[in-house]
Chain A
Amino acid sequence: MKTAGTILALVIVGCLLPQLANAERTVVLITSDLCPVREISQLDIRKAYLSVAVNIDGHTIRPFRLGGDEKLSQIFYQSIVAMSRKSYERRALSMALKFGTPRPAVFEDVDSAADAVRRLRCSVLYLWKEDADSLDGVRTIKLLWQGD
């Protein structure tokens, strides 16, 4: 009986392992708790990350990027700005020069990026949802990507 229970437990774990390995991950956009902006469209997010000034309810949106995570970067290029890495870099530089707005600042780790978000009201940052959930003083305002 005990053996049968052990086997059943192993079978359950065996069945769950692939599920765990293929568990869906989510990328979200966060901003400071202090930012009064509650909603931001996909188009505004793209504009902000392409150095176009975005103003929502009188608040200027300042985009931050999180480097150091290749998968996150790939999702950023594919789902957020919808272009290749090369095109984005070229386009962002072109827009920054055209409108005079700074290019999105890039942070290498989540904590420093989160600090920047907390300090600068209405700044936005994309990151994994699990990372976002562990942060204080920030809130999720947009689901950006969901997948394996």
Chain B
Amino acid sequence: MLIVLLIQAVLMPLLFFTLAEAVERNLANAFLDDARLYARFIADSIDDLDFELGQDVVVEHLDSALLGGRIVYAALVHNDSVIASALTEPQEFDRFREDFEFGEHGDETYYVSLPVESGFQTGILHLGFDETPAREHFDTVRKSIVYALATYMLSVLIAIGYLSSAVVRPLKWLQQASRTISSGEVDKELRTKSSLVEIQDLTADLEKMRSKLVGMNAQLQQEIMDREQSETERRSLERYLRHAQRLESLGTLAGGVAHEFNNVLQPLLLYTDLALEDLPADSPAVENLKNVLTLANRAKGLSQQILTFGRQDTEAEFELVNLTPVVHEALTMIRALLPATVDIRADISSDIGDVRCDPAQIKQLLVNLCNNSFRALSASDGYILVSLKEVIVPRKLASEHPKLRDGEYIVLQVADTGVGMDPQTVERVFEPFFTTQDVGQGTGLGLSVVHGIVVRHDGEIILESELGKGTQVRIYLPLADEDGREDKGKRDSDG
């Protein structure tokens, strides 16, 4: 814009002088044409007049010429005498110097001389034309040119102002917008108020580009999120599988040991029973054999629990049941077993579907979980919450736990506000004989048995715990279909 103004500043004087000169030249030519023609007419009118005898007539002609206003000096020089109009200013006689150009001699008068003849007489007619009106005309024209150029200059300034606001400002805004987009900020929509079609088109193109970038960005972000989610799920599954495999191995190992142990215990119990039958009641060995029998039965119970964990017990009886009365019965038993000071809360839904399960094992499962919660509560004043409800497993949860499918499940939950566990403890909590209790306080088989029961019921167990806040164990049991079968069809189709 500054360059345009500078060019204008240089061009304006040049344009003014060029225009003024051209106009003045034309005006001067017009003046010469008029003056010369008028002088010729006057000379022609005086021709053939007798200069000596008709002086009065000549003077009348000259007076007539002066009265017109344009001529300020008129005289006829004849034989060294001058016949002049009485209207001529005296000083004009001395000023006469013939001109051939407008403004020549700088005397404001254009002097012309023309020969006139009358018979054999020859005279020279002197005429002086006033240049002042023409000069005033020049000045008027100059002023008009100045006004025209000033108007033009003003128009240019207005145009520059308009262009600055209509073109330069939107262009700068577009430039800034491009830089913003190139720096990665693509969220702001581009809109222009410019009335220029070119600017609107440019903005629309830039907006299209921005929209594409936004779309590509969103797509890339979604892909990254999907990949991160997949990676998280993969790691979760790997951890789950490792855990499941470890528990499977432990179950197999412990089941084998328990079997062998049972094989030893069965004859031990049998022979001890036979020995007791053979001995008299007052025999001092009877008491010892009874102790052996008690310990052997206890060992049998332990081995039974190990077999349950390893899913090798054959005593489970599956049937189609509604868990609501089962859980109520279990809670009654648990309240009787645990100290009365323990706050056991229940949220049992009666409007739930049936599941295919062994009610006795479910009760055992609930007892074990509540017992664990009670032990976690022992050092604090919390409560145990047992809840039962029917849920629809969301896809996300199902994706994190391979045994779960998105569908309907019965959820049995035992939560406590006890001491909670750290992640390392949570990782090993289902391993048999793993315990955080002191020696003699627990067998470390409670949660192992729970795990075995849940696996046997084709369910899933999810344990969440946080130190100082408590533990929450959720057992997911598949809802049976109308025919009494577990809703496996849906799960298979999803899987």
Binding site for B on A (CB under 8 A): 42-43, 46, 71, 74-75, 77-79, 82-84, 86-87, 143-148
Q: Does B458 sit within 8 A of A, measured CB to CB?
A: no
Structural contact, B36 and A78, CB atoms closer than 8 A: yes
Docked-complex contact B43 and A42, CB < 8 angstroms: yes
When distances are taken between beta carbons in the complex, the residues of chain B under 8 Å from A46 are 40
A84 to B117, CA, bound (A): 24
The answer to whether residues A79 and B115 also contact, given A42-B47, A87-B29, A148-B97 and a CB cut-off of 8 A, is yes
| Total A-B residue contacts, Cβ distance less than 8 Å | 52
Q: Which of chain A's residues has its CB closest to B47's CB?
A: A42
Q: How far is the CA of A78 from the CA of B40 in the complex (A)?
A: 9
Per-residue CB contact flags for chain B residues 89-109 toward chain A (1 = under 8 Å, else 0) read 000000001101100000000
Complex alpha-carbon distance, A94 and B164, angstroms: 53
Cα A46 to Cα B100 with chains together (Å) = 18
> What are 18 A-B interface contacts by the 8 Å CB criterion?
A42-B43, A42-B44, A42-B47, A71-B100, A74-B100, A77-B100, A78-B32, A78-B100, A78-B112, A79-B114, A79-B115, A82-B39, A84-B30, A84-B33, A87-B33, A145-B115, A147-B98, A147-B124
Task: Check: B113 CB closer than 8 A to any chain A CB.
Answer: yes
Q: 1/0 per residue B142-165: CB within 8 Å of A?
A: 000000000000000000000000
Within 8 A of A (CB), among B38-84: 39-40, 43-44, 47
Q: Let me know if B122 is at the binding interface, CB within 8 A.
A: yes
In the bound complex, what is the Cα–Cα distance between A5 and B209 (angstroms)?
A: 109
CB of B22 within 8 A of chain A?
A: no
Q: Tell me the smallest distance from the CB of B458 to a CB of chain A, in Å.
A: 118
Enumerate chain A residues within 8 angstroms of B40, measured Cβ to Cβ: 42, 46, 82
Contact partners of A148 in chain B: CB under 8 A: 97-98
8 A-B pairs with least C-beta separation: A82-B40, A74-B100, A84-B32, A82-B36, A84-B29, A147-B113, A87-B33, A143-B115
Interface residues of B in 300-314 (CB under 8 A from A): none
With A42-B43, A146-B124 known to touch, is A79 a contact of B113 (CB < 8 Å)?
yes
CB of A76 to closest CB in B, whole Å: 10
Contact status B100-A143, CB under 8 Å: no
A42–B42 CA distance with the chains assembled, in angstroms:
13
A75 to B115, CA, bound (A): 12
